[in-house]
């Protein structure tokens, strides 16, 4: 058990057949990652029926390949088109896209690939460290901690929209409204459904994200015309060779504290079921941007703004396996599908999953490791060609992206209504861009709203109504409350002229 098993799993993957499944997974993951709106969950959900005929271990390789590769794939579209390929890549657009417009897409992709690979490795390494105490970790995160984490996430958004606080709050409220659509978990009553069966389960995530990120950005690009890269930088970049990839790799090593912090945030958030990569990468981005000395350059093409979210985004896969090895429960949508694959093979996930299904679990860990590195290497090799996308006329880019995204939305559940939702939200998203409302605020509120509501009601019932008293009795809850307060007041505290204060004191 332990390292021996892991070593054996690494040797096992070198078998020709296994490696083939893994590489197929990586390519598939990259493709689904690059296509805006579609992510790892979509790819895995579509793969489930295929894995039925595979050996459980081969299914793990395929699934792990997909999981490890999507987030890097998604960063490519985030950087080149300002359209996150998957929701967690949304934070990467803040600095990645400005870099692309400055003709430095190679730098951004190089940094993203390296941060993704290293973040993934750090996440898995942390998972291995956590395995002995995974049970305690999971048991110490209850409804109270879930609720406070969502509040911390919402607080981080509130302070991160510089100078647009009101617009940010309005967008967040719309996000909450959308999140509360459908059946109330507590009363079973339906809300805001307008009598439509379709809305019973709430507004589906994939169509909503596709609309908000992909469709809206494509409307914006189509109306603007030209190509993604600025005319001036374009001609300047044409004179230069498309380089900067190497520089991007070095940037990650130069800013290693950013990488490390992002990876740790990713692992911890990944371990909490339901929060997922969007929150992890966003918290990593905002904490880096808030504490950096050069914080004014964030949003204008700071490479640290690419490293932070991408490291967190890949590290969360390792983290999301912590609840899985402890109790057989999924830490993310992707691990949920992965557990589904096990069930399909007659393996019932439970608290003894690591003892009984060591082969499959270690197989998945190995697949994730190889995939994170493999996807990044592929990305680095092809970076110079991918960058050319920013020079293609948008009249070609827009129809291709819109068709791929909407087809993907339809294929997932086979519902035309999903396509309609993506389109309507897309138009709404364009209006948000046009009137300068932050879309990410809406997304985070949309993702967190349901968990926040649900866990709040749980705490209320569990604590017999004494919510605050109950929370203050739990150490991790107290830490989270303090973190939330600090997040809120950090920007204000910075404005206090500390040096003068301490100077006058002495």
Partner 1 sequence: MKKILVTGATAIALTVGGAAQAEFPTDDNITFVIPYSPGGGFDTIVRQFAPALETAMGTTVVPENISGAGGARGGQAVHRSDPDGYTIGIYNIPGLTVNEVTGRDQGFKLDEVTWIANLAVATYGLAVAVDSGINSVEDLCAMGQPTKLSDTGATSTASVTTRITFGILECDIVDVTGYAGSNDAMIAVISGEVNATIKPISSLAKYLDGSGTGDLKLILTLTEDEAVTGVPSATDIGHPELAKFTLNRVIGGPPGMTTEVVAAIEEGLRAASEDPSVTSWADGAGISLAFMGAAATASMMDDLSSFYEQYKDLAATAE
Positions touching partner 1 (CB under 8 A) are 45, 48-49, 52, 138-140, 142-143, 183-188, 197-198, 200-201, 273-274, 327-330, 336-337, 339-341, 343-344, 346-352, 413-415, 454-455, 457-458, 461-462, 464
> How far is 473 from 471, CA to CA, in rounded Å?
5
> How far is 262 from 69, CA to CA, in rounded Å?
18
- Torsion on CA atoms 173, 174, 175, 178, rounded to nearest 10: 120
Q: Which residues contact 31 (CB under 8 A, 6 or more apart)?
A: 73
- Residue whose CB is less far from partner 1, 103 or 331: 331
Coil, strand or helix at 161? coil
Give the closest residue to 174 by CA, choosing from 504, 352, 435, 366.
Answer: 435
- Residue whose CB is less far from partner 1, 353 or 406: 353
The three state secondary structure string of 3-29 is HHHHHHHHHHHCCHHHHHHHHHHHHHH
- Residue whose CB is less far from partner 1, 340 or 491: 340
Give the closest residue to 56 by CA, choosing from 356, 273, 314, 326.
Answer: 356
Half-sphere exposure of 64 (CA within 13 A, CB side): 32
- Residue whose CB is less far from partner 1, 199 or 308: 199
Q: b/e string for 445-464 if b means 16 or more Cβ within 10 A?
A: bbbbbbbbbbbbbbbbeebe
C-alpha torsion sign, points 307, 309, 313, 316: positive
> How far is 383 from 497, CA to CA, in rounded Å?
45
Minimum CB–partner distance for residue 72 and partner 1 (Å): 24
Give percent helix, percent strand, percent coil of the chain, each to the nearest 5.
80, 0, 20
- The β-bridge partners of 190 are 183
> How far is 124 from 111, CA to CA, in rounded Å?
20
């Amino acid at each position: 058990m332990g390292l021996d098993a892991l070593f054996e799993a690494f040797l096992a993957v070198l078998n020709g057949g296994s490696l083939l499944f893994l590489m197929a997974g990586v390519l598939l993951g990259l493709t689904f990652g690059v296509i805006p709106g579609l992510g790892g969950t979509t790819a895995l959900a579509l793969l489930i029926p295929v894995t039925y005929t595979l050996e459980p271990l081969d299914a793990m390789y395929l699934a792990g390949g997909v999981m490890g590769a999507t987030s890097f794939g998604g960063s490519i579209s985030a950087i080149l088109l300002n359209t996150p390929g998957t929701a967690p890549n949304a934070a990467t657009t803040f600095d990645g896209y400005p870099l692309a417009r400055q003709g430095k897409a190679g730098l951004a992709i190089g940094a993203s690939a390296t941060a993704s690979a290293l973040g993934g490795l750090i996440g898995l390494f942390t998972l291995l460290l956590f395995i002995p105490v995974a049970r305690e970790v999971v048991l110490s995160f209850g409804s109270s901690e879930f609720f406070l984490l969502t509040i911390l996430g919402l607080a981080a958004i509130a302070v991160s929209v510089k100078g647009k606080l009101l617009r940010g709050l309005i967008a967040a409220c719309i996000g909450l409204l959308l999140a509360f659509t459908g059946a109330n978990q507590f009363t079973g009553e339906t809300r805001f459904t307008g009598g439509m069966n379709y809305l019973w389960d709430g507004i589906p995530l994939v169509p909503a994200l596709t609309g908000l990120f992909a469709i809206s950005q494509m409307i914006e690009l189509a109306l603007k015309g030209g190509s993604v890269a600025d005319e001036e930088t374009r001609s300047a970049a044409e004179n230069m060779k498309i380089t900067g990839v190497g520089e991007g790799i070095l940037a990650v090593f130069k800013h290693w504290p950013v990488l490390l912090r992002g990876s740790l945030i990713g692992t911890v958030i990944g371990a909490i079921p339901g929060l997922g990569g969007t929150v992890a990468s966003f918290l990593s981005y905002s904490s880096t941007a808030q504490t950096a000395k050069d914080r004014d350059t964030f949003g204008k093409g700071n490479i640290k703004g690419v490293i932070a979210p991408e490291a967190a985004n890949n590290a969360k896969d390792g983290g999301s396996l912590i609840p899985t090895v402890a109790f057989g429960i999924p830490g993310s949508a992707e691990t949920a599908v992965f557990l589904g694959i096990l069930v399909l093979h007659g393996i019932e996930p439970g608290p003894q999953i690591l003892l009984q299904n060591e082969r499959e679990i270690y197989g998945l860990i190995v697949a994730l490791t190889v995939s994170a590195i493999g996807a990044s290497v592929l990305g680095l090799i092809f970076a110079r060609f991918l960058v050319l996308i920013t020079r293609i006329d948008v009249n070609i880019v827009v129809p291709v992206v819109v068709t791929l995204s909407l087809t993907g939305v339809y294929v997932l559940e086979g519902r035309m209504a999903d396509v309609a939702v993506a389109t309507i939200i897309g138009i709404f998203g364009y209006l948000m861009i046009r009137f300068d409302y932050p879309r990410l605020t809406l997304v985070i509120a949309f993702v967190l709203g349901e968990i926040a509501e649900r866990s709040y009601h749980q705490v209320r019932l569990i604590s017999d109504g004494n919510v605050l008293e109950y929370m203050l009795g739990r150490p991790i809850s107290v830490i989270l409350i303090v973190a939330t307060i600090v997040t809120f007041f950090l920007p204000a505290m910075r404005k206090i002229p500390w040096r003068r204060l301490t100077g006058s004191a002495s």
